[in-house]
Structure 1
C-alpha cells in the first residue's frame, strides 16, 4: 500500500517565496541554510576537524551547499542517498569594470552567463543582486529588489523586419541595460551606489559577483490557477524540493545517509570549486565516512551502494512546437516528475536507475513520465553524468517538465513541485 503524500499545494506556495527570495546562487544557498538551521542542522567549516556525531550538518562554499543527515548508529560504510541540483540560472552578470554608457544614458556593463533566452530579458524591470567582497575579505549579500535596470528593445519603426525575419541580438551591443541618465560615465558609480544601499563606507567593496534579475514576483496563472510562472525554476525548483525532502526525513531511523548537493556553475559546464565537476561533493562524503571512524574500504563500500537523483528541469511538450519533441514522448505539466534518458549519456539514467526511481514514485503514489530528445535535436545535459563519472556513483536524471526553459520567466504546472518533493522523500527513505 502506497504511503500518502507529504506535501500539497502549500509546498508550491512556499516555492514561490523561495524563488522570490533567491535572486542569485548566493541567496539560494543562504535561504537553504536558514531552512536547514530551523530543522536542527548545523554548519561545519571545511577548515575544522569533523566529528562523527549523528545529526544534520551542512557545508557552504560560495554558491554551493552540501547537507547530510547521519542517523543514530550509522556505520562508517552506510551508503548515501543523494539529491543533486544546481543553484545558478542563466542571466546577465556585471563585468569587472561595471560602468558604461553613451549619448546621455548611464548603463551597466554586463556579460552573458550560461545560455539565456536573450529576448526574454528585453523590456523587463530588473533588479541587481549577488555578493560583495569587502576589504577584510568578508562577504555580504546585496539585493536591490526594485526596478533599477532595463534592456530596452529597439522600436519596430527602426527595425521594420523584426516581425518577419525575427529578432537578431548582438550579445555585446544590444544587451547592456540602462540604469539612469548622465552626461559623463564615472568609474565606480555602480559600486558606490551598492555601497550606499548596503550601508557600507565608500571604497569598502573590493570585489563583486553581481547579476540582474526580473523583479516581477512568481504568480499562479490559468483558469484554475493550475500553472506557475516565475524566475529561476531551472533549477531552484529542485533545490527547494530537495531541502524540503531532506528536512522531512531527518530524525528518522534511515537505512541510508540522505544528502543534498546543490552546486553552482551548472549552466556553464560545472568546472569550478563549487561545481559538480569539482571536488566538493566527494570531499564531503569522504570526510563523513572518515569522521565516523571509517577506512578507505568503508568509503569504497559506501560509494558502491550509493545512488544519486540528479534533479533538474526538463522540457514539457510545447503546444505550438510539438514537432520539436520526440513524437512518442510528450511530458505534460502536472503529469508528475520526468525520468530523463539519453543513450549517449547526456543523461546518466540507465535501466537499473529507472527501477530505483520507479520504486520511489510507487511508494509516494506519484505518477512519472519519460523524456527523451527528438533524434534530430541536440540533447542538453546535467550534473548527472558528471556525478556518475567523477565519483563512480549510480546516478539517475529526473526533474519537472516546464516551458520557456532559460527564459527570464519560466512556466511549470502548479502541482509538479510538490509531486517531485514527495518522490524525493520516498527516495531518501529508501
Structure 2
C-alpha cells in the first residue's frame, strides 16, 4: 500500500484539489472496484468469495485539517449537478449535529463537522467518505481534525462493481496514512464495511471492501469471510487461451432499496430455523436434509443458494489449482441459475447476457454483484470472445435495450498510495 509512481490520474486529482481548496493535497490514494468471479450472497453468511480487483479506481486527493471540518468534493457528482446548489440537509434526529452544504459558491463542495456526523445524516455520495470518518471516530481513532477530500472515479456506479467500496477504502487508507493510525488492510476493510452498514444503511457483507483493500495484480482473492483469511490465487486467463469479460448492462441497481436486505433476512431466518449461527455451518452433503426441515419456500431457496454457492467456490478453487480454467465456465453458469431461480436477484437484461453469450459459444456466464441490474461476467475462449461480445450487443439491440458496455476483467492491484 505504498506509492509506486504518480500516474497522470494522480497528478490530475492533485491539480483539481488545488483549484478547489487553494493548496496542494498531502497525498493521492487509489482503490479499485472489483468483479466477483464466484461466491455471491455468501459473505454475510460467513462463506467463501473469489473476487478480483479491476483497473477502474476511485482516486482520493486528501489533505489533513486541524479544525474538525470535513470538506468533500466529487468530480462525478459535480458533473451530474448533484447535489444541487444551495441544497441543505439536517443530520437526522440531532438537527444540531451536522449540516450538509452544497452551495454553488463553493463549487459543489460538501461541508461537514467531523464531530457531528450521525448515521443517516448525510445524503447521496458524500455519505460514503463521511461514513468512513464516522466509523474511524467510533472505533476510537483520532481523525477528529478533519480533512479536505477531492474524489474522482472510473468505477461505474450501480454496475455491481463496488464503486462505493472503492470510495470508502481509498478514503480509509488516506486517513490511515495522514493520521498515522497503523491500520492493516483487513482493518480498513472492516471499518469501511461498518461505514456502509451503519452510516449509509446498506447491509452489505465485507467482500467488496476486502477485495478493494486486499486484491493483488494477476490474482483472484479467495476470501473466507468468517475469519477474513485469504489466499492470493494466480489467475491469467490469457495463458489458457481464455478471456474473462465484464458486461455492464447499464441497468442501475440500488442495494439500499430493501430487496438486498430481504434476501439477507431470508438467510438469517434459515440459519435460525436450522439452529446454526450462519449458513456457512450447513455442510453441503447435508443440504437435502436441511431443506426438508424448512417450511417457508423463500427461506428454503435462500438456504439452497448459499450452501450450494459455497460449494461452487470450493469447486472453482479446485479447478484453478488443477489448471482446468476452462471448466470454471460451467460452474459460473450454475451459479447464475441459482441466483436467478432461488434468490430471484437477476433481471431480464442479465439473463439475456448469459443466454446470448452461451449461445454464441461462451464457456460460462453469470450475473455478478448484488443483482437487480448491474453486470455479468462471461468466460470465453480467446478466439470466441469478440464473437460473444458482438452476440450480446446484438441481442440487446434486438430486445430494444440500451447497448451494454463490455470490457476485459484484468486482475489488478488493490488500494495504494499514488502520490
Same fold (TM over 0.5): no
TM class by shorter chain equals under 0.3
Structure with the higher helix share, 1 or 2: 2
Structure 1 length normalisation: TM-score? 0.27
TM-score (norm 2): 0.28
Greater share of strand residues, 1 or 2? 1
